[in-house]
A and B are shown apart, each in its own frame.
Chain A
Amino acid sequence: MMFRRHSDLPLAGDATSRFLPWLVALMVFLASMAVAGAFVISGIIDRWDHDVSGTLTVQVLPAGGDQAEAATEDRVRLAVDVMRKVPGVVAVKAFDKKRTLALLEPWLGGTEVVQDLPLPRLIDVAVDPTARVDLAEVAERLAQAVPGASLDDHRVWLSRLINLSRTLQWLAVMVVALIGAVTAATVVYGTRTGMAVHHGIVEVLHLIGAHDDYIARQFADRAFALGISGGLMGLCMTLPALTAIGWASKRLEGGFLPSLSLPIMGYVTIGLLPLLAGGLAMLTARLTVHGTLSRMP
């Protein structure tokens, strides 16, 4: 029909319309990977934190001599008694040799040679998380009461690991921010190019009394459509990649790596990325047009 609603600006044929969706697709793919990484790391930190908070480990070195086995058992019993008397300790559980060997099996195997090794014995101690336990005093008391016993509260190595993980998490966030900035810069460039190409039309609209926002809205709507379509393309690239990574991680046996599964919030966030890309493109285009038009009389 003659009265079909046309856009005043023929933006569909611009070069931007061809390259921007692909660029946004790539950016959304990379951002999705970074977001997935951040969520996985966050999950790992939470799990580690949860697993070891409120726990202590007592390590008892094996005794020497003819009655080594019995002497070691005596040391373990003594250490258990000492720890049970510590205020705030809610459970103390000694691992027998069989259990200790089972823990080492993934690394050292289950051969008889390993069974003959003088292995230290471990005692798992659960502490009320709200209790204030003077760990230095407990460690000293334990060392005096039980020869070869030492206390490990996991905090040192765990805090280093958590620090590393948090650094990686921030790195992922910065990567996403950087991707957003690159996308915005591309939209600025594309919009300015579009305004230059269609300068004559923009000027006519301006001179017949169009408000800046009337013109900006046309660029913004186009940028939103391109951003959304590019974002959806990026999402289509992301989902198989995440599935492949999840599948590959599940195939790893023996617990060398923590689980790489992505929580629901991770999927929701990644699912929102195309919308965010569209919104970012729309806002950037709008601001760019306003900025350019403000220099017109």
Chain B
Amino acid sequence: MRHRPRGENIIRFDSVGLRYGLGPEVLQDISFALPSGSFHFLTGPSGAGKSSLLRLMYLGLRPTRGRVVLFDRDIASTKRYELPALRRRIGVVFQDFRLLDHLTALDNVALPLRVRGVKESEIRKHVPELLSWVGLADQLGARPSTLSGGQKQRVAIARAVIGRPDLLLADEPTGNVDDHIAMRLMYLFEELNKLGTTIVVATHNELLVQRFAHLPRLHLEHGTITRVRDQGPPPEPAP
């Protein structure tokens, strides 16, 4: 992980617009910058464009207009073969987990390391360790179809963080788990944030946002950022 000095922008959007095909713009004039080491909520009602905005951030889409700068690289002028290196600096927790059903929990988590060509000995060392850390030490060989929603979510999170990303994007990471696990996941994200990872958590769970009211938030409505709230008071200590 190549953490940058806190405060430098890790990602910046300038007047970004996005439309699918010939349809209407789902995102309009999006402009914001996320400092390195920051932790933001991305909020907004369903259909506001949170997932589309996240997809732009993890380079799953190209904007139809505007400028996206990620890790100081203007994405529009970045060569296609250079993009995998940028993607490897981003961890993504997908809303629907997107685990590979034919692979075990361990192989799913190992995937980002394997695409980087990390040695199997390293994988054998680090992956079980991380799965133990998220409470899945006894599920290393389990396939996703046999795991509960919460367990799948933890596997997805482990996969997103195994490469120690500079930027972690999580799309509704607490959507399928009970409150207790949701809080544990949030504290896990906070721990990662303390280690230097910039984090964006998309959610429409207002209760969760209120519990972490000290975190700034990007609020999306009708495809436009309507509010960028500053950092609030520090959180209550973890239970």
Instruction: Point out residues on A near B: beta carbons under 8 Å.
Output: 2-3, 5-6, 8, 10, 200-201, 203-212, 214, 294, 297
Contact = CB atoms under 8 A, between A and B. Distances in A.
Contacts of B107: 6
Contact of A208 (B92, B102, B106): B92
B222 interface: no
Interface residues of B, number: 32
The main secondary structure of chain A at its interface with chain B is loop
A207 B141 CA distance: 24
Nearest to A13: B102
A208 B115 contact: yes
A277 to B, nearest CB: 28
A6 B98 CA distance: 18
Contact of A211 (B84, B92, B100, B103): B84
A10 B145 CA distance: 15
A204 B84 CA distance: 12
A207 B58 contact: yes
30 contacts: A2-B141, A3-B120, A3-B123, A6-B103, A8-B103, A8-B111, A8-B114, A10-B102, A203-B98, A204-B98, A204-B100, A204-B111, A205-B115, A207-B60, A207-B87, A207-B92, A208-B87, A208-B88, A208-B92, A208-B111, A208-B112, A208-B159, A209-B115, A209-B116, A210-B84, A210-B115, A211-B81, A211-B84, A297-B59, A297-B83
Contacts of B62: 297
Contacts of A212: 81
Contacts, number: 61
Contacts of B123: 3
Contacts of B163: 208-209
Contacts of B140: 2
Given A2-B140, A2-B141, A209 B85 contact: yes
B2 interface: no
A212 B83 CA distance: 11
A201 B100 contact: yes
A200 B84 contact: no
